Amino acid sequence: MIHKINRRQTLGILGASALLSTASSMKAADYSDLNTDRYLGEVDVLATIEDDKVFTEGPAWGNGALYFTNVPAGKILKWDGRKLSVYRENSNHANGLHFDSAGNLWACEGGGGGVSGKPKLVRAACVTRTDWKSGEITVLASEFNSFHLASPNDLCFDYKNRLFFSSRPGGVDATKGNVNAVYRLDPDGSLEQVLAWPDIHMPNGLVTSPNGRKLYLIEAHPDAEHHRDIRSYEITEDGKLMDEKIVIDFYPGRSGDGMAIDAKGNLYVAAGLHATRKTSETLDTKPGIHVISPQGKILAFRETPEDTITNCTFGGKNLKTLFVTCGTKLLAIPTRIPGKSIQ
């Protein structure tokens, strides 16, 4: 049985004072006693993306280069260490990317774009795999319970090569469409919904532990009295998620968006804002990369130069560079600990 901590349910059952007590005991914005230089080097701006619309996301390291998305422009971009290029046009509004151990590129596609080379062919939101040798794109998941997926967002693999991915924004009535949820896609092609609204509110970035047996999930709902935290789950042999725990709570600040994990199990979380936006999110969470222990302590913090920081991944030589998507910028931060190996 999953141990659930639900902000809205707590408010309804125990009242506002109990909710505030619970939230304050897990408050994330404690930037005291940090040892940032032990974990992170200085921020380097690798490239500035210029396009009609720019919102960078989904960095993934594979086949000797860094790939990331410009979501509204419908492009997957490539950084080869020297120059920036377009890897794919008409990406179907791809967001999160991930390379598997065979070097194939998996993508969470939000829908509304087209297959590369066929700009008039539009498909619904889905999860795809690009064969690295042939370039063939295969749609692996597009529907659940006879409804289209809402908008696949981010993805990762566990120790049995099962894919977990988040999908949002969805509706609130599962009888009329798919809600905000996390899904598990098994190697045999079967698709299961493992977490869903209202138990979770706005699933975003997710990673698995170095041994692939624990799932970390960012909750990032911008509305008041909704989840803004990182949760952990034990992954069972049959792929279920058990023993839900809140690792760290960012409320009332902006929660994390995406994250990466190092070989020792520390989380590197892209979170925070320089300035408020039209949400209830405050500036309690500083804008940048937060290194967080598995126990929920902020170990290090490095500020990033502009809004909105979205995601990060390890790559480069020995997986000791953290690549960060941040507004119109692609950033790089040297790390003292390497990222976990590709799973």
Q: How far apart are CA 239 and CA 123, in angstroms?
A: 29
Residues in the chain: 343
pLDDT of residue 170: 87
Q: Taking Cα atoms as reference points, which of 325, 334, 319, 336 lies closest to residue 62?
A: 319
- Classify residue 22: in a domain, yes or no: yes
- Classify residue 76: in a domain, yes or no: yes
pLDDT of residue 343: 74
CATH number at residue 76: 2.120.10.30
pLDDT band at 30 (very low <50, low <70, confident <90, very high): confident
Give the model confidence (pLDDT) of 170-213 as tens digits.
888 998 999 999 999 999 999 999 999 999 999 999 999 999 99
Contact present, 289 and 325 (Cβ < 8 Å): no
Q: Which residue has the tokens 């749609």?
A: 139
Would you say residue 41 has pLDDT above 60? yes
Write out the H or E segment, with its range, that includes residue 94. Answer: strand 94-99
- Classify residue 342: in a domain, yes or no: no
Q: Which domain holds residue 151?
A: 7-334
- Classify residue 341: in a domain, yes or no: no
Q: What is the dihedral of CA 48, 50, 52, 58, to 10 degrees?
A: -50
State the amino acid at position 317 in one-letter form. K
Q: Which residues contact 127 (CB under 8 A, 6 or more apart)?
A: 106, 107, 108, 109, 139, 140, 141, 142, 149, 152, 155, 163, 165, 185
pLDDT band at 342 (very low <50, low <70, confident <90, very high): confident
pLDDT of residue 35: 95
**φ, ψ (nearest 5 deg) of residue 12:** -70, -35
Give the model confidence (pLDDT) of 111-155 as tens digits.
964 444 333 345 899 999 999 999 999 999 999 999 999 999 999
Q: Which is more confidently placed, 155 or 17?
A: 155
Contact present, 6 and 225 (Cβ < 8 Å): no
Q: Taking Cα atoms as reference points, which of 12, 187, 217 lies closest to residue 96?
A: 217
Query: Which 8-state DSSP code applies to residue 342?
Result: P
- Classify residue 314: in a domain, yes or no: yes
Q: Taking Cα atoms as reference points, which of 74, 38, 84 lies closest to residue 54?
A: 74
Q: Taking Cα atoms as reference points, which of 103, 107, 75 lies closest to residue 88?
A: 75
Give the model confidence (pLDDT) of 50-105 as tens digits.
999 999 999 999 999 999 999 999 999 999 999 999 999 999 999 999 999 999 99
pLDDT band at 318 (very low <50, low <70, confident <90, very high): very high
Would you say residue 18 has pLDDT above 50? no
Q: Listing from the earlier edge strand, what are the strands of the sheet with 298-303?
A: 256-261, 267-271, 288-292, 298-303
- Classify residue 320: in a domain, yes or no: yes
Tell me the CA distances in angstroms from 289 to 42, 136, 182, 272, 311, one per residue in order: 11, 35, 24, 9, 9
- Classify residue 205: in a domain, yes or no: yes
Q: Is the peptide bond before 198 cis (omega within 30 degrees of 0)?
A: yes
pLDDT of residue 179: 95
pLDDT of residue 166: 98
Q: Which residues contact 177 (CB under 8 A, 6 or more apart)?
A: 147, 148, 150, 170, 171
Q: Taking Cα atoms as reference points, which of 38, 43, 31, 13 lies closest to residue 312?
A: 43
Tell me the CA distances in angstroms from 129 to 135, 136, 177, one per residue in order: 9, 8, 24
Q: How far apart are CA 336 and CA 287, in angstroms?
A: 21
- Classify residue 339: in a domain, yes or no: no
The total number of structural domains that make up the chain: 1
Would you say residue 8 has pLDDT above 60? no
pLDDT of residue 29: 65
Q: How far apart are CA 79 and CA 198, in angstroms?
A: 39
pLDDT of residue 292: 97
Give the model confidence (pLDDT) of 240-271 as tens digits.
999 999 999 999 999 999 999 999 999 999 99
